[in-house]
Amino acid sequence: MSENSAGAVIVISSHVVRGSVGNRAAVFALEALGFPVWALPTVVLPWHPGHGPSTRMTFPDDDFERVIDDLIRAPWISEVKGVLTGYFGSPAQPKAVARLVAALKEHNPDLTYVCDPVVGDMGGLYVPEATAAAIRDFLIPLATIATPNRYELAWMVGSELTDNNMITQAALSLGPPRVLVTSAVPMMSGGTGNLLLSGRHALLAEHRLVDDPPNGLGDLIAALFLGRLLAGLDEEKALQLATASVFEILARTKKRGSDELTLERDQSSLLTPMALVQMRRLMHPAQRPKRPS
């Protein structure tokens, strides 16, 4: 990829001093793929909260709003071709970012905005409900692509999702043209899957399940999927490569016994992953024959 050929990407999420989650994962991945990145932290933490208590540095909402205003007025705004958002530190932040995305779309109607609604997992919400609701209500409607895990999708649509048919229906009801659901129900034994709903297609990318994975996988696949699409790949190839990269890095990280994704040692896995991913085409509701009336 030539310099700036695919434009810059704005990444807005949490920042950790130690580790490979949030902006640390997404920015590294996108830069490895050759994209200039504008990175805006929503909170700053010494490490992921899963490693234990630590000090949480937050920004006053007024200051965050002013930074968003600065970005909207930036003379380089036409460089931006993509936006990725993840974890937010307050309910006001998603509303401010919605203004930024709307302004960027005025400059570039073809802007690709990926909303990774980082709000919870199988244990429930781990952000205040007001923050989760702000992401759902202000950012999901603007998204070109949403990348919830199964539990985040279930919370947003208000129903339990126990199979891929239910996940498909929920994803289609969410609103964005493309929805990539991580931790979908696998069809292969001992596996896990990423299910992409787009137009008339339902694509399932599966790989072997790795127990007790480090944090940051959702941040990583959202960034890689965005990067591959911005580079001009079709969605099936983009999904395959993004899934393969994440699985390969995860497997290598576990083999090393690291408690954080070892992105700095696995740049080749970001660029040219070799891991095998099982790709399946599932029945999309739009493809089902209609019953005669």
Q: Two tokens at 221?
A: 């696949």
The pLDDT tens digits of the residues spanning 55-71 come to 989 999 999 999 999 99
- For residue 35, the Cα-to-chain-centroid distance in whole angstroms is 16
The CA angle 281-287-288, to the nearest 5 degrees, is: 110
pLDDT band at 168 (very low <50, low <70, confident <90, very high): very high
Span 81-89, average pLDDT: 97
The token duo for 273 is 């992953």
Distance CA 255, CA 103 (A): 44
Tokens of 243: 């899934």
Quote the pLDDT of residue 3: 43
For the whole prediction, is pTM greater than 0.85?
A: yes
Q: 209 pLDDT exceeds 50?
A: yes
Return the ∠ at Cα 263 (arms to 257 and 267), rounded to 5°. Answer: 125
- Find out whether 8 and 16 touch, Cβ atoms under 8 Å: no
Which pLDDT belongs to residue 2? 39
Note the pLDDT of residue 291.
61
β-strand partners of 81: none
pLDDT, one tens digit per residue, over 244-287 is 999 999 999 989 999 888 899 999 999 999 999 999 999 887 66
Which tens digit of pLDDT belongs to each residue from 6-46? 699 999 999 999 988 999 999 999 999 999 999 999 999 99
- Mean pLDDT, residues 76-89 taken together: 96
End-to-end CA separation in angstroms for the chain = 52
Query: How would CATH label the architecture of 8-287?
Result: 3-Layer(aba) Sandwich (3.40)
